[in-house]
């Protein structure tokens, strides 16, 4: 009996050891299969473009395919919930948009996720908002837009990627600073909003430059101002909101990678190191600049600090703008 018991114990320990080392080896070999990058918006917006830029450049560095999976809607809650529930093995990652990550939590009555559900991996892209109007709107500058809005109260409507998105908050900031009133029209992402702007169903929108650049170049859309502190190299003739007389209209977006909270540190370390290689490459930086954005790698710790600071800052803006959940 004792012999059998000893044999069983030895076999059990061997099995545990084999499983442990097998798991450790599998973890060390990450990745061994396709990585899915979940995006909280429809195709066509900057979040989607940032994800596709990163996925394409990251795949050869990781040595595995990286596919983009768009799960738009619900102010980013649909995508966040999917990633939150995903197996914490590093094969489901989250390309998050700052508006959804640090603004939506302040207006969501029934929270479907919490900051603690995710851990930061790396910031990828940063970009200011631009103010864009349909080409047949009779304004060519931001002051002219303000004058038109004052002369036609409630007539102008502006599109956003959703209630509580950074575009929505930027519109509210513009209303506050200009003493004007516009109608907010929320969409499920920048892509659908852009299509209706091109079709003339809405008058203007706010957003990061990448998805708008081809239409600005073709003359289908007109850009009035950049909401950052500096002009964009890709739009050198477009003034900042400060230069146009509205310095308090200042809104920057960021697009960053997160993973479920329980993903092991070695996997996060591998991802952030490879993302750093990609984002700091000359080719990626050039491509981002051409799109009106900045390749802006930040470590997990730096991204975590940014999230905390922005959560506090945007809480004040949301409160003063009286933005509420739909």
276-302 burial: b if 16+ Cβ within 10 Å, else e: eebbeeeebeebbeebbbbbbbbbbee
pTM: 0.77
* Spatial separation of the C-alpha atoms in residues 258 and 57, rounded to whole Å: 17
CB of 279 closer than 8 Å to CB of 124: yes
**193 φ/ψ sector (left φ>0, alpha ψ -120 to 50, else beta):** alpha
Does position 71 have pLDDT exceeding 80, yes or no?
yes
Q: What is the pLDDT of residue 5?
A: 46
Greatest distance between any 2 Cα atoms in the chain? 96
The yes-or-no verdict on residue 2 having pLDDT over 50 is no
Chain-centroid distance of CA 200 in Å reads 26
Confidence band (pLDDT; 50, 70, 90) for 325?
Answer: low
Strand partners, 123: 256, 298
Whether residue 4 is predicted with pLDDT greater than 80 in this model: the reply is no
Predicted pLDDT of residue 25: 37
Q: For 14-66, what is each residue's pLDDT tens digit?
A: 444 334 333 443 445 899 999 999 999 888 888 999 999 999 999 999 999 99
- Give 195's Cβ-side CA count (13 Å radius): 9
Query: The tokens 């859309």 sit on which residue?
Result: 221
- Answer for the pair 175, 182: CB distance below 8 angstroms, yes or no: yes
Q: What is the mean pLDDT of residues 58-87?
A: 95
> pLDDT above 70 covers what percent of the chain?
90
- pLDDT higher than 80, residue 11: no
Phi, psi at 302, each rounded to 5°: -65, -40
**Segment 2-19 mean pLDDT:** 42
**Residue 215 pLDDT greater than 90, yes or no:** yes
For the segment 101-148, what is each residue's pLDDT rounded down to a tens digit? Answer: 998 888 877 789 999 999 999 999 999 999 999 999 999 999 999 999
Who has greater pLDDT, 12 or 202? Answer: 202
Over residues 168-191, the pLDDT tens digits come to 889 988 998 899 999 999 987 788
Q: What span, in angstroms and rounded, lies between the C-alpha atoms of 37 and 278?
A: 16
Instruction: Reply yes or no on whether the pLDDT at 3 is more than 70.
Output: no
Q: Give the three-class secondary structure for 222.
A: strand
Compute CA distances 146 → 26, 176, 182, 206, whole Å: 59, 11, 10, 15
Task: Collect all residues with Cβ–Cβ distance below 8 Å to 61 and sequence separation of at least 6.
Answer: 274, 277, 278
Predicted local distance difference test score (pLDDT) of residue 280: 97
The radius of gyration computed from the CA coordinates of the chain, to the nearest angstrom, equals 23
How many Å apart are CA 257 and CA 95, to the nearest integer?
A: 5
DSSP strand E in 135-170: where? Answer: 157-160
Count other Cβ atoms within 10 Å, centred on residue 65: 14
Beta bridge partners of 315: none
Angle subtended at Cα 215 by Cα 209 and Cα 217, rounded to the nearest 5 degrees: 90
What letter would DSSP give residue 87? Answer: -
pLDDT class of 162 with cuts at 50, 70, 90: confident
For 237-272, how does the pLDDT look when each residue is reduced to its tens digit (9 = 90+)?
999 999 999 998 888 889 999 999 999 999 999 999
Cis preceding linkage at 31, omega within 30: yes
Residue 161 is predicted with a pLDDT of: 80
Tell me: the pLDDT tens digits for 187-200?
877 888 999 999 99
Predicted pLDDT of residue 219: 96
Following DSSP, what letter does each residue of 277-288 receive, concatenated?
Answer: HHHTSHHHHHHH
Q: Report in angstroms the alpha-carbon separations of 93 from 71, 83, 176.
A: 13, 7, 37
Q: What does pLDDT average to over the chain?
A: 88
Per-residue pLDDT, 78: 93
User: Does residue 228 surpass a pLDDT of 60?
Assistant: yes
């Amino acid at each position: 009996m004792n012999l059998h018991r000893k044999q069983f114990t030895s076999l059990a320990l061997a099995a545990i050891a084999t499983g442990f080392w097998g798991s450790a080896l599998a973890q060390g070999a990450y990745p061994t299969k396709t990585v899915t990058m979940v995006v909280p918006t429809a195709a066509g917006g900057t979040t989607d473009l940032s994800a596709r830029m990163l996925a394409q450049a990251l795949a050869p560095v990781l040595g595995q395919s990286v596919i983009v999976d768009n799960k738009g809607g619900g102010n980013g809650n649909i995508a966040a919930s999917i990633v939150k529930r995903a197996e914490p093995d590093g094969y489901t990652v989250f390309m998050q948009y700052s508006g959804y990550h640090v603004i939506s939590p302040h207006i969501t009555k029934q929270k479907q996720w919490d900051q603690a559900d995710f851990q930061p991996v790396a910031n990828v892209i940063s970009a200011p908002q631009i103010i864009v109007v349909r080409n047949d709107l009779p304004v060519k500058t931001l002051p002219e837009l303000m004058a038109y809005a004052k002369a036609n109260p409630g007539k102008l409507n502006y599109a956003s990627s959703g209630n509580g998105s950074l575009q929505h908050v930027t519109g509210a900031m513009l209303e506050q600073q200009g003493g004007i009133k516009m109608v907010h029209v929320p969409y499920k992402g920048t892509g659908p909003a852009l299509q209706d702007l091109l079709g003339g169903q809405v008058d203007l929108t706010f957003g990061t430059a990448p998805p708008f650049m081809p239409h600005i170049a073709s003359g289908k859309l007109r850009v009035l101002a950049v909401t950052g502190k500096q002009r964009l190299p890709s739009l050198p003739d477009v003034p900042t909101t400060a230069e146009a007389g509205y310095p308090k209209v200042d809104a920057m977006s960021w697009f960053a990678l997160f993973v479920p909270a329980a993903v092991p540190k070695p996997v996060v370390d591998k991802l952030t190191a490879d993302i750093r290689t990609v984002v700091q490459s000359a080719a990626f930086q050039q491509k981002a600049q051409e799109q009106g954005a900045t390749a802006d790698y930040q470590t997990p710790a730096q991204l975590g600090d940014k999230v905390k600071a922005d959560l506090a800052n945007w809480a004040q803006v949301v409160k003063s703008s009286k933005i509420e959940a739909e």
